[in-house]
Amino acid sequence: MLPRKKVISRSSWKHLTFRQKEIRLRSLEALALMRKEGKSMSAATRETGISATTFRRHVGKTISKRNGRLVAKTTDRISRMMTIFSNGRRYNIETRSSKTASVIGRYNSAVGRYAQTGDASNLGELEGVTVRDAAGRKYLVETRPKKVISILERLERPDVPTIYAI
């Protein structure tokens, strides 16, 4: 009998191998498809190119059976690394909260929109917003347009801010 593979949904991002990080990102993408588009687990994993078994190892108790069907819970505590701008600098922070990840995703969308169109209205909506990393440190997201441009100019590809960092 083969040994069971370890459930790694609670593993910190920094303890994952490069391959496990890639799979974690695909698992998070499949989880988002289940939440936002109501897709079944099999359809979501097929679309993201991972097996259902691997997906379940990476999301753990974030999915549960309801009326005979596996559904995603609305929030999770899966560790992920994300990019933000704060105090005139770029930071890759680890977060274990899907709520924090959603805020960072909204922030990165606002930065991307500002970089492409010059429309800073979405950045303004996030003024004063702070996010907390897995270690408990707080970061005030950078919403000053001149500072955002300054950070983007220092990046290799300024028109495409990365959301997840590997």
* Mean pLDDT, the chain, whole residue set: 90
Q: What is the pLDDT of residue 158?
A: 47
pLDDT band at 155 (very low <50, low <70, confident <90, very high): confident
Query: Helices 18-37 & 41-48, crossing angle to 10 degrees?
Result: 130
Q: What is the pLDDT of residue 7?
A: 73
Query: Helices 52-59 & 18-37, crossing angle to 10 degrees?
Result: 90
Please say whether the beta carbons of 54 and 30 come within 8 A: no
Question: Model-level pTM?
Answer: 0.84
Q: What is the pLDDT of residue 159?
A: 53
Position 47, amino acid: E
Two structure tokens written together for 127: 């003024």
For 3, the 3-state DSSP assignment is coil
- For 113-135, how does the pLDDT look when each residue is reduced to its tens digit (9 = 90+)? 999 999 999 999 999 999 999 99
- For 15-42, how does the pLDDT look when each residue is reduced to its tens digit (9 = 90+)? 999 999 999 999 999 999 999 999 999 9
For 10, the 3-state DSSP assignment is coil
